[in-house]
Amino acid sequence: MKMKSFNFVAAGAMLLACAGALTSCNGGPGKTLYDGDITADTRGTTIDLWTGFGAAVTADLQEVLDDFTAQTGIKVTHTSKNGYENLQSAINLSASTSTYPNVSVGYPDHFAGYIDSNIQLSLDGFIGSDSLIPATRTGTATDSSASGTFTELPAFDYSDFYSSYLTENTSLKYKDDGTGYVMGIPFNKSTEVMVYNKTFFGADVIKTAGIALPTTWDEVKAQSDKILNYVKTKGVYGKVLASDGNVYATAADIPSADTILLDFTSVAEGAFYPLSYDSQANWFITGVRQWGGVYTSVDKDTMKGYIHFYDADNKAKTKDFLTTLNTAYQAGDLAIPATFAEASYCSAHFKIYQSLMNIGSSAGVSNCVPAGDAFQVACAPIPYKTADKKFVISQGTNLCIFDKGTNAERVASWKLVKFLSQVENGKFATLSGYFPTCKSALNSAIYQEFITSTAGSSTDKVNRSAATVNASIYSADSANWQKFVDPGFNGSSTVRNSVDTVNAQVFISKTDIDKVMSDQYNALADYVPQA
């Protein structure tokens, strides 16, 4: 009898003690700590990084990775899977055999899948315990037994990031109290900008003719009509327009004091469109928002996604958007890649004077620089509908860490994430043309130098121009632009790929908008909300 009660009391005491120990481990409510040893020495570890970057960005990334190895002694093996779809597919197929990498990049809908497959780690623990990493150690980056002091990376500041980039990463997996886990850290962000022919729009002759760079979609229609009219009445097709306002037969006939404004020797009537837009999916998604509609939404509890762009509430707005654009398209003002009877980018045609304004990703503006610098290019914000709905899409991936490897490898992965997203993000931005993800990267010496200098090739200049649009216009509070991202859910890329074809069907095949939309809803039946 006595033994039993003793056991009971002892057990109860132990239970209470454990409970007390647990709460003290927790570090207090709301703050998560890393469950391993974050102070482990990571020098000499090797980790894997998978991305989907092309050759150019891979080279830029490698430079930053070399800096990382020099500063931390951690070796990184980078593999590019050539495209985000291949990357996503490769990671998903490695889930069951645990052959995924330590670190990778991805969009929110990719992450939704990785979370389901139970391979992605939440980063709250790393963020919470980051300050516990010792600031210095003995030795050098490569040799822990040498003499000297080795400095670890600076501490991580989560609040430094632009909040618009953080929401998409905290809307994927929720804690019991309703707040979201941090599943990724922003890495390479871009947006859409309008690249325009600066030589043309800046010419006095053109300004006198009343042609200016449009800022709203209504202005786009008006100005494009003006441009088409001007070009037609002046008879520029097949010839060359010079800065003195005259039309000459070939470029060689222009007086030496003047410059070429429009070289239409290979451009006939009907092959010229004042404004071209590269990504149709972006156009549709941005347009739906700009006209006040809703594109998709996610149910927080089930993490299931639904489409809303043509339901009862949004039907009129989406239809108005498509009709407005269609009118402009049929008038010859607009072009999409399919207009040129190839699936290539419009930038190829922008470079040969077949369009004067091209809306595309800020990361691809260097593709708009014409051969031999035939004309100057600069960037401007994309057109909007009304001043209260200045929406522009924010694109780009985030870094994530997978459940793999020893403790040292996990801590090393965290350090890589820190480095790429914050410590050297500014340098990466200057090299690759992506935008800085946090204020410290924006204000870093290297980025400021890049953005304020006037030297460099045309490619540098146009990259700088795009960066300025982002920094001074899109990010400025006064300009009232809102960078948006759509919620990521399993299948959001399927929805996106499907709406990518809407514009071409409406403009080129001239299919009735209601029919196109009902086809879309049929194809995306999985994502239509059940009444």
Partner 1 sequence: MALQHESDQYFATPEQMRRYKSAQTIRTILIYAFLGLLGVFIIVPFVFMVITSFRDPDCYDWDTSNKIFNLIPQWWNSKYGRPNYTLDNYSTVFTYKSSSGNSINFGLYYANTLYVSIVSTAFTLVTSVLASFAFARCEFKGKNLLFAILLATMMIPGEMMVITNFQSVKSLAWENTFASLIFVTGVSVFYIFYLRQTFQQIPNELFLAAKVDGYGHFRYLWKVMVPVAMPTIVTIAILSLMGAWNAYVWPNLVASGTNPFTGTSMLLVSNGLMSLFQNTDTGLSHDTVRIAGSVVVTLPLFVFFLIFRKYIMRGVSRSGIKG
Partner 2 sequence: MMEGERSGRLAQLKTEWKYLIAKPTPEQNLASTNSLLKSRLGVKRAPRFRVSEAGKAWIALIPALIFLIVFMIYPIINTFLMSFIIHFRFMKGSGGSFAISNYIVALQLGLNISWGFGNYVSVLQNADFQNALANTAIIVVISVPLTIIIGLLIAVFLNSIKPLQGFFQTVFFLPYVTNAIALGMVFKIIFTDGSSGMFNNFLSWFGVSSQNWLSVYADKWHMLLVIIIYSVWNGIAFKILVFQSGLSSIDRQYYDAAKIDGANRRTIFRRITMPMLSPQILYITITSFIGAFKAYTSIISLFGAGAYNFGGTTAKNWETVVGYIYVVMQDQTLQGRAAAASFVLLLIILVITMIQIAVSKKKVVF
Residue 263 has φ and ψ, to the nearest 5°, of -100, 95
- b/e code 60-85 from CB counts within 10 Å (16+ = b): bbeebbeebeebbbbebebebbeebe
Say how far apart CA 319 and CA 298 lie, in whole Å: 23
Strand partners, 311: none
Q: Are 112 and 93 in contact (CB under 8 A)?
A: no
Contacted by 53, from partner 1, partner 2, none: CB < 5 to 8 Å by type: partner 1
Would you count residue 284 as binding partner 1 (CB under 8 A)? Answer: no
**Smallest distance, Å, CB 508 to partner 2?**
5
Nearest to partner 2 of 284, 391 (CB atom)? 284
d(C-alpha 333, C-alpha 276), whole Å: 9
Q: How far apart are CA 522 and CA 528, in angstroms?
A: 9
Residue 403 binding result from partner 1, partner 2, none, given CB thresholds of 5 to 8 Å by partner type = partner 2
The binder of partner 2 chosen from 1, 2, 29, 118 (CB under 8 A): 118
Q: What residues contact 403, with CB distance under 8 A and at least 6 apart?
A: 118, 119, 120, 121
User: Which residue's CB is nearer to partner 2, number 418 or number 496?
Assistant: 496
Q: How far is the CB of 94 from partner 1 (least distance, A)?
A: 6
**Contact residue for partner 1 among 33, 36, 41, 58 (CB under 8 A):** 58
**Interacting residue with partner 1 among 23, 26, 46, 62 (CB under 8 A):** 62
Token pair in block for residue 213: 């760079």
Q: Is 119 in the site for partner 2 (CB under 8 A)?
A: yes
Helix ranges restricted to H, 291-383: 315-330, 347-350
Cβ-proximal residues to 516 (8 Å cutoff; 6+ apart), any chain: 502, 505, 506
Residues 452-511 that bind partner 2 (CB under 8 A): 490-491, 493-494, 497, 501, 504-505, 508-509, 511
| Run of H or E residues at 187 | strand 185-197
Q: Spell out the residues 6+ positions from residue 22 whose beta carbon is closer than 8 angstroms to its own.
A: none
Helices (H), 130-182: 163-166
* Contact residue for partner 1 among 338, 348, 471, 523 (CB under 8 A): 348
Tokens describing residue 52: 């989907």
Measured distance CA(385)–CA(318) in Å, rounded: 13
* Per-residue interface string for the shown chain with partner 2, residues 381-420, x marking contact by CB under 8 A: ----------------------x-----------------
Q: Which does 490 bind (CB under 5 to 8 A by kind): partner 1, partner 2, none?
A: partner 2
Rule CB under 8 A: say whether 299 interacts with partner 2. no
The contact set with partner 1 (CB under 8 A) reads: 53-56, 58-59, 62, 79-80, 82-83, 93-94, 96-97, 99, 266, 344-345, 348, 367
The contact set with partner 2 (CB under 8 A) reads: 85, 88-89, 92-93, 95-98, 113, 116-119, 302, 304, 338, 341-343, 403, 490-491, 493-494, 497, 501, 504-505, 508-509, 511, 519, 522-523, 525
